[in-house]
Structures are given as C-alpha cells and as structure tokens.
Chains A and B, each alone.
Chain A
Amino acid sequence: MRAEKSLDERGLVAAAQRGDLNAFNELVLAYQDRVYNLAYRILGDPAAAEDATQETFIAAYRHLSTFRGGSFLSWLMRIVANRCYDELRRHKRRPTVSWESFGEMDEEANPFLVNSHPTPEEAAQEAELARFLQSAIATLPPDQRIVLVLSDIEGMNYQEIAGTVGIPVGTVKSRLARARARLRDLLQARGELLPRAYRLEK
C-alpha cells in the first residue's frame, strides 16, 4: 500500500462510529482520491467511478459498526473494489475507452489522465501512454482486471488481494500472471501506437 497521510485515523473513525459525520467527512477528504482512482481503473468510466465512490462512502458510513480496527483505507478499498467487481459482473460493463478505437482517440477524451509535467512533449507522451494502458486494462476479464489493478496500481500484496476479493492466494497469483501476460501481448502487438520511449522491443 502507498504511504498514508498523517492523520488521526483511529480518532476520526471512533468519532464517526459515534455518529460524528464531520469526523467521517475528514476521512472522506483524505481518501477520496484513492477510492476514486481505484474505481476508475477498474471500471474505466469516469461517471461510473464517481457513482461507485459516492456509494462506497455512504456504505462505509452506514456499516462503520462492522469496522474492527486495522487500516481504514484498506477497509475502504475492499468496499470499493467489491462494489466495482459486482458492477462489472452484473452489467458486463463495457469500457468507454475501447482498445480498438485507441488509435483514433481524442486527446480530450479523458482529461483526468493528463498530468502536469515539466515539458509539454513529455506530458503529451505520458497522457497518451496512460490512455493506451487504460484501454488495454479495460480489455481484461473482470476477475483478472481487479487483481491487476489491486496489485500494480494499488500496490496490494497477494494476501491483501486475496482478502479483498475473497479468493485463495494461489488464484490471485495465477490471475495476476495471466493479466500481466495478456497486457504484455497487447502492448507488443500494438506497440507502434505507443510513444517510442515506451515501446516493448522484442
């Protein structure tokens, strides 16, 4: 997991468990970027990710009594990951950024992927790479996609992923390997669309 902000998480959680909505909202402000990012990477759709994020915080507040200590962020990530996973399986959600249309995709299609960068050229290359990768991730089956995002974007270890998704560690390992290999094959097959600096040379 990435480093968490210094914040009296335990005290805020205890206050929120007593019904203090302001205390809970401090936790929302601290973790909403992480929650939204995970939702966006799994769902591949900004609007759906917004819905999932809001629903996650509402569900977390309503079920605060079931939180039994440990990392509050991990608990939130488990809620949003499962919500997104259910959403993918229930609606067979198609990504708004399709892999096939990647070559013709407009730069403005997803403004959230554009990061501030020292030089405009590098910024543009990074944004293009990000869009390329996101569209490639969106082609993965849901069970592989969620494991890849939790591992390589959220930085969870196998045990944490197994606990979050509710599958054995061995299954995490094999699904992650298949997801990475599939992504690698996609990048190699359409590598010419990537900026030269990021191409996977055989």
Chain B
Amino acid sequence: MRRKNRARERVDEWLSAYIDGALSPRERARLEARLARDPDLRARLDALQRTVALVRGLPSVPAPRSFLLTPAMVRPPVPAARRLAPALTFATAVSGLLCVILLVGNLIRAGWGGPGAIAPAPMIAYETGASPEAGEAEGMAKQAPPSPQAIPTEMTPLAGAAAISETAVPEMRAWGEGTPSPLERAPIPPDMGGVGGGAEPGPSLREPYGEPEEPPPSEPMAAGEETMTATLTVEVTPISPMPEPLPPVRGATAGEEATPAGTPPSLPGAMPEETPTPPPIPWLPVGGLALLTAALAALSIRAWRAR
C-alpha cells in the first residue's frame, strides 16, 4: 500500500513538472509515450491541469487599505539597553559621589591635610561664637554701671589685653594684698557657666568676652559689684596664652593661676599633639565603591552607545 502511494506520488510529480514544462526532453518523451497508451493517466493529468488552471485563475485580492509608511512607523526602535542608560548614569553618579564623600571624609578625619585640617573646628567655633557673645558682652557692658575707662567693643584683642593689663594691675594688687582672689572664690560666675563653663573647649569660646569688657574700676569695688569682678577674672584668662608683648606684671600671673582652674590652652597649634594616631582609611569600601563606579560608568557608556 505504502509502495503504491510512493509510486503514485512519483507519477504526480512527473505530471506536475510536465504541466510546468520542467521535465527533461527524455523524461517528457517517456511520459508522453505512457500517456498515449494509458487513459487513466490522461484523466489524472487532465484533472491536475484543471486544478492548476483554477488556482492560477483565482482573482487577485486588492489591498483593503493603504499601507503607506509614516515617519513614526519607521523610526528605529529604542533598544532595551538604551532605555536603561539614564538609570545607569544616575547610579554611576551616586556611586561616584559616595566614593568621593567616603574618601574625603576619611582623609579629613585622618588629618591628611596637615595641622590646619584639624584646627578649623575650634576656630570655627571661635568665629561663629564670637559675634553673638560679643553682642551679649556688649549688652552686659551696657548693664554694668557706666565707667569712664570703658573699652570700646571694637578694640583689638592685643590692645584690649594691654589696656586690661595696665588697668588691671592695681586691682590685682588690691586682690593680692587684701581678700583672696575672686578666682579662688568663684572661678566661674554662674551667669558665664552657660556659655563657656562647660569644659575643655571653654577657653576658646570664652575668649571673646575679654575683648569688650571694660577694665576694672580703679576705685575699690563695692561688695554688690562682685559679678563684675568675677567677669574680670574670666576676661583675664584669654590673655594668658599670649603674654609676650606684655610686661611681666602680676595680672599675667593671676591669669596663669586662672588657667589650671579650668582653662586649658586654646592655641590651635597645641591641638594636634592631643589627637591620637589618625584612624586608618577604610580602603576596602572606598576601593569597592571606586570599582563599582568604574563598572557602572562602563555600562552606562555601552548603554548610551547601544543601537
């Protein structure tokens, strides 16, 4: 049965090729000889030829609409990689920023910028704290009883120190001869405690107070003016770190006495000696972030160039 089908298929193949004129001259001659003596084969050929004629005669189906192209239709599609490009670029920027922040932050902590890199913190505190506190001191000066020797607030520290040392001498002498120094009685007045009485950074913060303060009156003070005297003890302290231009008067000695009472040296240069060994730079996270940034940057470039 299968063999019969195979033979039938082979005959149909010949007949089909015969219709198309695709047989070799020898094959065509053999087929035509068989057709002449086999009416069934002729009928099969006839049916096949009519079938092919029917298919070839099928009407052409016109396009139901126009297929004209618009520019939007032929715009090249945005590749998937390209769509990721903005997100990748943003990730690169964030990663790079984190890397820089981590590195710079650790460099500052480790003091790689030299002694000046560490000093700014207290200095900033000094500068920022100066103006309001100076204003406060001004207010205090206004509240205090008017004195002919009042020093203007805008006086420079050095001049102020000189003025204080000159004017303070009699007062100091008076303390030294008479009652114990107000420093010993009340090293830090209660009203100053809030400002600079805290602890170590105190002196540098308290320093501005020395500038606008008026010198102590040359007359002996009344007991009710103890607050003003106490203020003087504080204002003397900042002068102590720079005694060079001053003559070795007892006022300076009094300042040196005041120092251990809670006023460590406030010179910025002294600070680096206090800092322990700088913390090590965390190279692993910094390096990892740098590598991640580089990888993201490479991916971003590839994404933008994707077609």
Q: Is A1 an interface residue (CB 8 A)?
A: no
A33 contact set on B, CB distance < 8 A: 60-63
Scan B32-66; emit 1 where CB is below 8 A from any A CB, else 0.
00000000000100011011101110111111111
**CB < 8 Å neighbour of B64 from A24, A50, A177, A183:** A50
B68 contact set on A, CB distance < 8 A: 25, 28-29
B64 touches A28 (CB 8 A): no
Closest chain B residue to A198, Cβ basis: B54
A115–B61 alpha-carbon span in the complex (Å): 9
A123–B62 alpha-carbon span in the complex (Å): 16
Q: Is A128 an interface residue (CB 8 A)?
A: no
Scan B215-259; emit 1 where CB is below 8 A from any A CB, else 0.
000000000000000000000000000000000000000000000
The interface centre, meaning the residue of B17, B55, B73 with most chain A CB atoms within 10 A of its CB, is: B55
Q: Given A37-B61, A158-B22: A202 and B47 within 8 A (CB)?
A: yes
**CB < 8 Å neighbour of B51 from A36, A46, A50, A183:** A183
B71 contact set on A, CB distance < 8 A: 21
Stretch at the interface among B7-15, B156-164, B282-290: B7-15
A200–B51 alpha-carbon span in the complex (Å): 8
A133 contact set on B, CB distance < 8 A: 54-55, 58
Contact residues of A between 148 and 202, Cβ < 8 Å to B: 148, 151-153, 155, 157-158, 173-174, 176-178, 180-181, 183-184, 187-188, 198, 200, 202
Q: Is B69 an interface residue (CB 8 A)?
A: yes
Q: Given A113-B61, A133-B54, A158-B22: A181 and B67 within 8 A (CB)?
A: no
Question: How big is chain A's contact interface, by range?
Answer: 35 or more
B64 touches A21 (CB 8 A): no
A29–B51 alpha-carbon span in the complex (Å): 32
A54 contact set on B, CB distance < 8 A: 67, 73
**CB < 8 Å neighbour of A32 from B17, B51, B54, B67:** B67
A28 touches B48 (CB 8 A): no
Stretch at the interface among A6-14, A55-63, A83-91, A95-103: A55-63
B67 touches A53 (CB 8 A): yes
B62 contact set on A, CB distance < 8 A: 33, 36-37, 112
B9 touches A36 (CB 8 A): no
B65 touches A50 (CB 8 A): yes
**CB < 8 Å neighbour of B17 from A57, A148, A173:** A173
B51 touches A37 (CB 8 A): no
B74 contact set on A, CB distance < 8 A: 21, 58, 61-62
**CB < 8 Å neighbour of A37 from B17, B48, B60, B69:** B60
Q: Given A32-B67, A58-B74: A113 and B16 within 8 A (CB)?
A: no
A21 touches B69 (CB 8 A): yes
B9 contact set on A, CB distance < 8 A: 174, 177-178, 181
Q: Is B20 an interface residue (CB 8 A)?
A: yes
A45–B51 alpha-carbon span in the complex (Å): 22
B280 contact set on A, CB distance < 8 A: none
How far does the Cβ of B44 sit from chain A's closest Cβ, in whole Å? 8
A153 contact set on B, CB distance < 8 A: 55-56, 58
A187 touches B51 (CB 8 A): yes
Q: Is B148 an interface residue (CB 8 A)?
A: no
B20 contact set on A, CB distance < 8 A: 151, 157-158, 176
A33–B60 alpha-carbon span in the complex (Å): 8
Q: Is A134 an interface residue (CB 8 A)?
A: yes
How far does the Cβ of B52 sit from chain A's closest Cβ, in whole Å? 6
B51 contact set on A, CB distance < 8 A: 180, 183-184, 187, 200
**CB < 8 Å neighbour of B67 from A40, A57, A113, A115:** A57
Contact residues of A between 57 and 74, Cβ < 8 Å to B: 57-58, 61-62
Q: Is B76 an interface residue (CB 8 A)?
A: yes
Q: Is A105 an interface residue (CB 8 A)?
A: no
17 contacts across the A-B interface (CB closer than 8 A): A28-B68, A32-B63, A33-B61, A36-B63, A37-B60, A41-B58, A54-B73, A57-B69, A58-B69, A58-B73, A58-B74, A148-B55, A153-B58, A174-B9, A174-B13, A178-B12, A181-B12
Chain B residues proximal to chain A, CB less than 8 Å: 9, 12-13, 15-17, 20, 22, 43, 47-48, 50-52, 54-56, 58-69, 71, 73-74, 76
* Top 10 closest pairs, chain A to chain B, by CB: A177-B16, A177-B13, A36-B63, A181-B12, A184-B51, A152-B55, A112-B61, A32-B63, A115-B59, A32-B67
Extra A-B contacts (13), CB below 8 Å, given A53-B67, A126-B59, A153-B55: A29-B68, A50-B65, A62-B76, A112-B62, A134-B58, A173-B13, A178-B12, A178-B13, A180-B48, A181-B12, A184-B47, A200-B51, A202-B47
